[in-house]
């Protein structure tokens, strides 16, 4: 389920991205750091993406030019992952 939160009211009222319960860097570019956050809202959890300036000279704030922020409902689920590791003798 997707929802759109109004930036002026809901994002500011929830103090996102600062109050998010999870924040990870998903990518970087020359000028920006890209983030994925998880936050609670009305008894459910949602994810959203934002960017911020990569240096103190880059004046870019989260959702700077967006009127609304698209958020997707998520749930915490255990996931098993296989990966290559060094073989022990």
Q: What is the pLDDT of residue 81?
A: 94
Q: What is the pLDDT of residue 59?
A: 79
- 87 within domain boundaries: no
Total structural domains within the chain: 1
Q: Stretch 53-76: mean pLDDT, rounded?
A: 87
- 43 within domain boundaries: yes
Q: Report the predicted TM-score, pTM, of the whole model to 2 decimal places.
A: 0.79
Asked whether 16 and 48 are in contact (CB, 8 A), the reply is yes
- 1 within domain boundaries: no
Band (pLDDT 50/70/90 cuts) for residue 38 is very high
Of the candidates 88, 60, 74, 69, the residue with the CA atom closest to the CA atom of residue 9: 69
- 53 within domain boundaries: yes
Alpha helices in 1-89 (DSSP H): 12-14
Q: What is the pLDDT of residue 60?
A: 80
- 70 within domain boundaries: yes
């Amino acid at each position: 389920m997707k929802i759109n939160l109004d930036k002026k009211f809901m994002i500011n009222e929830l103090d996102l991205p600062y109050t998010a319960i999870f924040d990870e860097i998903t990518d970087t570019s020359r000028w920006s750091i890209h983030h994925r956050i998880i936050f609670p809202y009305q008894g459910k959890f949602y994810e959203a993406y934002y960017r911020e300036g990569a240096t103190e000279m880059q004046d870019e704030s989260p959702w700077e030019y967006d009127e609304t922020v698209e958020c997707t409902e998520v749930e915490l689920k255990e996931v098993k992952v296989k990966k290559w590791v060094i073989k022990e003798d």
